[in-house]
Amino acid sequence: MRKKEKKQPTRRSKIIKTVISLILIAVMVAAIVAANTLLTDNNRMVNAMMGANDSVIDNSGVDTKGLDLDYNKSDYSEDEIGAAEDALADQIADEGIVLLKNEDNALPLSKDTPISFFSRNSVTVTTHAGIMGHGSGSLKEDFEADGYTVNKTLWKFYDKGDGSSYGLGTGSISFGDEEDFAINECPLEKITADDKVVDSLSGTTAVYVLKRVAGEGRDMPRSMYNHTDKAEDQTKSYLEPDSVELEILSYLNDNFDNVVLVVNSNAALELDWVNDYANIKSIVLAPSGLSSLPEILSGEVNPSGRTVDTFAADALASPAAQNFGDYQYYDENGDATKYNYVSYEEGVYVGYRYYETRYEDVVLGQGNAGDYDYASEVCYPFGYGLSYTTFSWNAPQITWKDGSATATVEVTNTGSVAGKDVVELYAQSPYTDYDKKNGVEKPSVELLAYGKTSVLEPGASETVTMTFDEEQFKAYDANGAKTYILDAGTYYITAAKDAHEAINNILTAKGKTTADGMTEAGDASMVTTYEPENADTDLTTYAKDTYSGAEITNQFDDAKGDVNYLARNDWTGTFPTHDGEPTDEISTWGNEINGSDKDGNPASYVYSKTIDAGGLKALDSFDSGSPVDASEFDDKIVYGKKNGLTLIQMRGLDFDDPQWDDLLDELTYEDYYNTIGLSGYGIEYIDSIDMPFCTDADSANGLIYGGTGKYYPNSMTLAQTWNQELAREMGTMIGNEAIIGGMDGWYAPSMNIHRTPFSGRNGEYYSEDPYLSGAVASNQVYGAATKGVYAYIKHFAFNDQEDHRGDRDGQYGLATWLNEQSAREIYLKPFEMCMKLGDVELNYLEQKSDGTYENATRQIRACQAVMTAFNRIGYTWTGGSYNLLTGIARNEWAFNGMMITDNANTGVFMDGYQMIEAGGDIKLTYLADSARFDFDKNDTATYHYAREAMHRVLYTVANSKAMLGAMPGTDFVDEPSDTEKITMAVDIVCGILIALLAVTTVLRFVPRKKKQK
On the question of pLDDT at 860 being above 80, the answer is yes
- Rounded Cα distance between 876 and 816, Å, is 9
User: Does residue 818 contact residue 344 with C-beta atoms inside 8 Å?
Assistant: yes
Q: What is the pLDDT of residue 88?
A: 98
What lies within 8 Å, CB to CB, of 436 at 6+ separation is 569
Q: Residue 215 — left, alpha, or beta (φ > 0 → left; ψ -120 to 50 → alpha)? A: left
Percent of the chain scored above 90 by pLDDT?
87
On the question of pLDDT at 51 being above 80, the answer is no
Task: Report helix, strand or coil for 362.
Answer: helix
Q: What is the pLDDT of residue 6?
A: 58
Average pLDDT value over all residues in the chain: 95
Which pairs count as long-range contacts for 512-519, CB under 8 Å and 24+ apart, including other chains? 512/363, 512/364, 516/363, 516/364, 517/362, 517/363, 518/363, 519/359, 519/374, 519/375
- Rounded Cα distance between 695 and 962, Å, is 8
What lies within 8 Å, CB to CB, of 784 at 6+ separation is 731, 732, 734, 735, 738, 746, 791
What lies within 8 Å, CB to CB, of 759 at 6+ separation is 214, 219, 220, 267, 752, 765, 800, 801, 802
- Rounded Cα distance between 110 and 108, Å, is 7
Q: How far is the CA of 145 from the CAs of 283, 289, 744, in angstroms?
A: 23, 16, 38
Q: What is the pLDDT of residue 330?
A: 98
User: Does residue 429 contact residue 482 with C-beta atoms inside 8 Å?
Assistant: no
**Which H or E element spans position 907?**
none
Q: What is the DSSP string of 162-222?
A: TTTT-----EEEGGGTEEE----PPPHHHHHT-HHHHHHTTT-EEEEEEE----TT-PPPS
- Give the pLDDT confidence of 579-612 residue by residue, as tens digits: 999 999 999 999 999 999 999 999 999 999 999 9
On the question of pLDDT at 1012 being above 60, the answer is no
β-pair type (404-413, 446-452): unpaired
Q: What is the pLDDT of residue 175?
A: 86
- Rounded Cα distance between 748 and 91, Å, is 21
Q: What is the pLDDT of residue 7?
A: 63
Of 923, 908, 901, nearest to 674 by C-alpha is: 923
Of 649, 668, 674, nearest to 660 by C-alpha is: 649
Of 747, 844, 733, nearest to 793 by C-alpha is: 747
On the question of pLDDT at 54 being above 80, the answer is no
User: Does residue 683 contact residue 694 with C-beta atoms inside 8 Å?
Assistant: yes
On the question of pLDDT at 1009 being above 90, the answer is no
β-pair type (595-596, 682-683): unpaired
- Rounded Cα distance between 799 and 88, Å, is 30
- Rounded Cα distance between 275 and 270, Å, is 11
Could you give phi then psi for residue 564, rounded to 5 degrees? -95, 130
Q: Position 974: which residue type?
A: D
On the question of pLDDT at 4 being above 80, the answer is no
Average pLDDT of the residues in 927-936: 90
Q: What is the pLDDT of residue 1013?
A: 46
On the question of pLDDT at 1011 being above 60, the answer is no
Of 830, 803, 757, nearest to 287 by C-alpha is: 757
Average pLDDT of the residues in 880-897: 98
Average pLDDT of the residues in 965-973: 94
- Give the pLDDT confidence of 915-930 residue by residue, as tens digits: 999 999 999 999 988 8
Q: What is the pLDDT of residue 438?
A: 98
On the question of pLDDT at 647 being above 50, the answer is yes
User: Does residue 748 contact residue 765 with C-beta atoms inside 8 Å?
Assistant: no
Radius of gyration of the chain from Cα atoms? 31
The one-character DSSP state at 456 is B
- Cα dihedral 910, 916, 918, 921, rounded to 10, equals 90
Task: Report helix, strand or coil for 873.
Answer: strand
Task: Kindly provide the b/e burial profile for residues 905-923, where b requires at least 16 CB atoms within 10 angstroms of the residue's own CB.
Answer: bbbebbbbbbbbbbbbbbb
Q: What is the pLDDT of residue 3?
A: 52
- Give the pLDDT confidence of 320-341 residue by residue, as tens digits: 999 999 999 999 999 999 999 9
**Burial class, 872, CB count within 10 angstroms (exposed 0-12 / middle 13-18 / buried 19+):** buried
Average pLDDT of the residues in 889-896: 98
Asked if residue 749 has a cis previous peptide bond (ω within 30° of 0), the answer is yes
Q: What is the pLDDT of residue 159?
A: 96
Average pLDDT of the residues in 952-965: 98
Could you give phi then psi for residue 294, rounded to 5 degrees? -60, -45
**Which H or E element spans position 574?**
helix 571-574
Which residues share a beta bridge with 475?
Answer: 485
- Rounded Cα distance between 763 and 771, Å, is 17
User: Does residue 898 contact residue 930 with C-beta atoms inside 8 Å?
Assistant: no
The one-character DSSP state at 579 is S
User: Does residue 444 contact residue 503 with C-beta atoms inside 8 Å?
Assistant: yes
Average pLDDT of the residues in 832-856: 96
- Give the pLDDT confidence of 241-253 residue by residue, as tens digits: 999 999 999 999 9
Percent of the chain scored above 70 by pLDDT?
98
Asked if residue 784 has a cis previous peptide bond (ω within 30° of 0), the answer is no
Which residues share a beta bridge with 348?
Answer: none
Q: Position 508: which residue type?
A: T
Q: Could you tell me how many residues make up the chain?
A: 1013
On the question of pLDDT at 739 being above 70, the answer is yes
User: Does residue 852 contact residue 969 with C-beta atoms inside 8 Å?
Assistant: no
pLDDT band at residue 696, thresholds of 50, 70 and 90?
very high
